[in-house]
A and B are shown apart, each in its own frame.
Chain A
Amino acid sequence: MIALGVASTARAQDEEEPLEPTPDVEVEADGGAVPWYQRGRDDEAAPEAEAAPATTPAPAPAPEPVPVPASEDEDEDDDDDEHTGGFYFGSYGRIIAASDLAGRTGRQNLITAWGPRVDEADTYAEIELRREDHFAGMDTTVVATIGYFGPLFHYDGELSERIAFRNLYARVGNLLTPGLNVWAGSRMWRGDDIYLFNFWPLDSLNMVGGGLSYDLEQIGQLRIAAGLAQPNDPFQRQEVLVPARDGFSPESVLFLDRPRAVAAARLTWWPFGRRAREGMKAILYGEGHYLPSGTRRNPEGFDEALPEDAGWVVGAQLGGYLADQNAFANLFVRYARGLGVYDPLGVPFRTGSVIQTGRAEELRIALSANWEEGIFGLQVGGYYRYFRDADPNVYGRGTLTEGALNVRPMIWLDRYVGIAADLSYSGMAAASIDESTGNAVGGNLFKLGIVPFVTPFGRGTYTRPHLRLIYTLTVRDDGARALYPALDPRSANTVEHFFGIGVEWWFSSSSYGS
């Protein structure tokens, strides 16, 4: 065992989990004393528009409840009136430099909405600052997480950064009664993911609003949240210039202003107890989406009425875990209809006359699993997706099925060094015919990756930081090549290489744990 290497600031990832001052905990270098899946995980990651490949960071393995550092005025009393608290710093990041061994930049090969990420080539990082306090039996947390999207200055020389607040909220735990927690602000709100795809198959919301949760002893939890989202797109928001009422400079009027209201609820049941070392959990999940009617002005100056819109999502998750073997498996099923098919930060229609989502639907079935035993580890991810957009056309690229399967076995050569193989398949087929080939639109992609890595905190599939060399061989069929524009080398090459060096870390993050 080694002591936690990062300033003892790790804490529970579940933001609804009561923040409990606990005795000092040391973490097993190869996995952690309390696996993250026992605590439930939430949050993080970049917003994803509908049908957009995931570009978000991976989950964390081992958030640990640790003592909250005492504030300077901490006294000796140990009752609820004792005030403890402090400021905390956390981070997530992934950075990679890669080549295709043909003189160009190494790029991720992705023909599906989400897919194997062994060749993930984008930079993303977060810096999180928190204030945590415990007093009067309550816990309060104020979280500010700044996300940074590449490229890095050291790569492109541009003194400009793309940044966004990924979290900016306050939470109060054990409010009025133990187990009742509330939050308000702006945050990521999500559950379990498939790390290999950077994909949250059941629930992944980014919202400005608030929510609450109630923990029923250690066997159940109800979480609800509601918020608003309004992408700056003339589907939901449009400013028009009007002549100045006084003077000369035109004034801007918010002509179209219809934020989408989203409400979500998740009910979790741990039949063997939340902290059982061998257990399972079942989740029921639902979302409701509503978009008011509005009017927008098209470039020709004509006003166009936009009808109100609505949609919903239902889903379920069934998971089991064996703490002693750091093993878990989750099965997800999710069905969405209408507006619920589209991410709240996505825009269902950018062109065309279809302006209501009623016909759209999506079905997701997904699986994720992890197993560790001694020097061996195995990660598995897979999903199937059927998507149909709101367009009434029977044929088109807006109707498709797709999926991916990814296995990543790994072996540690010693405590800190290992090597992983990444084997994956992904494919998609759309109800459309490619004019250039005469074939159905769709394709198949196979990847074989070899990833030697270093994990200074020891063994564990989710132990971070993770410094790695990556080589991936991608083989794509004709259909997959045809999915790329003619000028893109990927449209011509059946085989593509990816060779890079990268790193991924997380610590003391309310999104990823330590």
Chain B
Amino acid sequence: MREFTYLLLALTLGACAHDGLGDIRDVEVTTHVEDWRDQVVYQLVVDRFANGDARNDHRVDPTSLARYQGGDWQGVIDRMDYLQELGVTALWISPVVLNVDTDAGIDGYHGYWAVDFTRVNPHFGDLATLRRMIAEAHDRGILVILDIVTNHLGQVFYYDVNHNGQPDDSIQGSGTVAPGGSPSQMTSPLARINEFDPDFDSRGVQSFTSLGAAGPAPIRFFDIPEIFRIPPQPPLFQDPSAYSRRGRTLNFDDPEQLLWGDFPGGLKDVNTADERVRETMTQVYVDWVLTADFDGFRIDTIKHVDNGFWEYFAPEVRRRVADAGKTNFFMFGEAFDGRDDLIGSFTMPGRLDSVFYFSQKFRVFDDVFANGGATSGIQRLLDERAVNYGHEPQPGGIGVAPDAALVNFIDNHDVSRFLFNRGDEQGTAALRAALTYLMAEDGIPCIYYGTEQEYRGGNDPTNREVLWTSGYDTTNATFQHIARLARVRAHYRALRRGNFTLTWTTDRTADEEDAGIVAFERRDGDAYALVVINSNRSHSSATAFEGNAMTVAVAPGTALRDVLSGDSFTVAGDGTIRVEAGPYVGRILVPAGDYQDF
């Protein structure tokens, strides 16, 4: 009887101590994706997407978009239905690691000011909630991509230029001008001493005193726990030699500054040439995959990091996560630059699986769809792609060559929104045309949160609006358009995995018959789709000019039908087809036998 009592007591206590973590106590790292080209990525800034937990609304300022707004991972969990209804199959969430909370009146809500790579940012929830969010996404067939930064940390130290042990931002000199002298001949020149973010110096930031140069400036880490402005973790990042310490990049065209300068804003450049840094940076992010079962990395500021780093980081990440059971791990980088060759260089063998297709953003979505430029620019960009990007899948990577897995986007958190630049009456139509191109072209479409709500924010931070003010409306035309395109893309394999062949572009942008037309075919074996989009704002255009219609690769007489309108077309006997589309109208033609009403 006594034993029974003890057993009962033990069971009772055990029940009381139940942690409630359920199946997220242990993470099973596994592969959740077959082909990344099947995905529709939705980029969300966690702080702005949905606020599901008021307990972490610390220092929230709803009146200032440069401050925390309250969004969190629980909010993402709460809005999974919304995401699914939109057709999202992969989430790219903003960084999760602990950030410097605030600096110069601006908060680290975006996540790019890392201070402790081993901890989560409590503004967004705890590790259990992060795991729950990812598990919930996986349960719904949605992948989760983690945004990471390897180039820099936040404002974690200052350069003690004058050796006084405190961070200074002051003016030196009086600006005195000699009698009769010009302002450029000051006897006491003005000089700004900014120890938070001093200018680039290839020798390393130098110190000086009133008597002159005094050698390299020592760095001093902040220790302000109230705002997580603390010595960084892991401990390696408390070692000055882990940083470049050359000051703020002034000239992004100077390769040295580009790679080794601090990112403007006092974000301290990490010395990625240091093997210890490479290893530590690799492992801390692998640990996040193993801890929470992420499916990929979006990597920030890759053009500011030396290629040697990527050639270590990328293979090592693939190997380590594969060892843990996760293959097809996707890594794409962000090089905020219009130079296609630069962007593409990061996809060369041994490097990343893909990049954020910035050159396309500028040359297609901005030039063509927003500004009415000639669609022939699309052809030129495609021609460059053949040269500038990797053509073979990365070993151990996603199994798709980089040039076929580029991450396409119209806008993102670093640029003004499409509708900011197209505030006219036809702006939303132009946006929807661009979205049709985005969702039908090859590669991986990425939609910036708020696009579906027709947000119109300008540059950072006004392009980082809170989404909850939209009411998460699923009835507006753009939301419905995206959702429909996502369903179409999901249904037609050709639109996801098919080869991409431009069949019509034009230099004409005025009142010509084909002005603004871009057309392309997608083919994957028997699967076929023909996409025709009119980027012209003023009139209907067609895939024909001066009696010459567009030649396509399907047999004469093939009946095609537009899945967006239901309109039917037939390939002429000479293998051509004339498809007309109204201003900002896109058509996705599939063989009539494959037609399905979406």
On A, residues with C-beta under 8 Å from B are 241-244, 246-251, 300-301
Contacts and interface: CB of A to CB of B under 8 A. Distances in A.
B281 to A, nearest CB: 21
Nearest to B223: A301
Interface in B423-477: none
B221 A241 contact: no
Given A241-B226, A301-B220, A246 B231 contact: no
B59 A243 contact: no
Contacts of B337: none
A247 B221 contact: no
Contacts of A241: 225-226
Given A243-B98, A243-B116, A243-B230, A248 B223 contact: no
A140 to B, nearest CB: 40
A300 B219 CA distance: 12
Interface of B: 56, 58-59, 98, 101, 116, 122-123, 126, 165, 220-221, 223, 225-226, 228, 230-231
Contacts of A243: 98, 116, 225, 228, 230
A243 B123 CA distance: 13
A249 B225 CA distance: 8
Nearest to A301: B223
Contacts of B126: 246
B225 A250 contact: yes
13 contacts: A241-B225, A241-B226, A242-B225, A243-B225, A247-B56, A247-B58, A248-B58, A248-B59, A248-B123, A250-B225, A250-B226, A300-B165, A301-B231
Given A300-B165, A301-B231, A246 B122 contact: yes
A300 B160 CA distance: 12
Given A246-B126, A300-B220, 10 more contacts: A241-B226, A242-B225, A243-B116, A244-B122, A246-B122, A247-B58, A248-B123, A251-B225, A300-B165, A301-B231
Given A243-B225, A243-B230, A248 B220 contact: no
Nearest to B98: A243
Nearest to A251: B225
Contacts of A301: 220-221, 223, 231
A457 B225 CA distance: 62
Contacts of A247: 56, 58, 122
A251 B98 CA distance: 16
A301 B218 CA distance: 14
B123 to A, nearest CB: 8
Contacts of B98: 243
Nearest to A300: B165
Contacts of B230: 242-243
Nearest to A250: B225
Nearest to B165: A300
Contacts of B59: 248
A174 to B, nearest CB: 45
Complex A-B, nearest 6 residue pairs according to Cβ-Cβ distance, in ascending order: A250-B225, A241-B225, A248-B58, A301-B223, A243-B225, A243-B228
Contacts of B221: 301
B578 to A, nearest CB: 63
A51 B221 CA distance: 38
Contacts of A249: 226
Interface centre among A244, A248, A300, A301 (most CB of B within 10 A): A248
A244 B98 CA distance: 11
A31 B59 CA distance: 70
A239 to B, nearest CB: 12
A242 B223 CA distance: 9
A300 to B, nearest CB: 6
Nearest to A241: B225
A463 to B, nearest CB: 59
A272 B123 CA distance: 78
A246 B223 CA distance: 18
Contacts of B122: 244, 246-248
A242 B101 CA distance: 14
Interface centre among B98, B101, B122, B221 (most CB of A within 10 A): B122
A297 to B, nearest CB: 8
A291 B41 CA distance: 62
Interface centre among B223, B225, B231 (most CB of A within 10 A): B225
B130 to A, nearest CB: 13
B243 to A, nearest CB: 16
B452 to A, nearest CB: 32
Contacts of A248: 58-59, 101, 122-123
B230 to A, nearest CB: 6
A512 to B, nearest CB: 48
Contacts of B116: 243
A186 to B, nearest CB: 33
Contacts of A251: 225
Nearest to B127: A246
A251 B59 CA distance: 17
Contacts of A244: 122, 225
Nearest to B160: A300
A301 B126 CA distance: 28
A130 B89 CA distance: 76
A241 B227 CA distance: 11
A243 B223 CA distance: 9
B569 to A, nearest CB: 60
Nearest to A299: B165
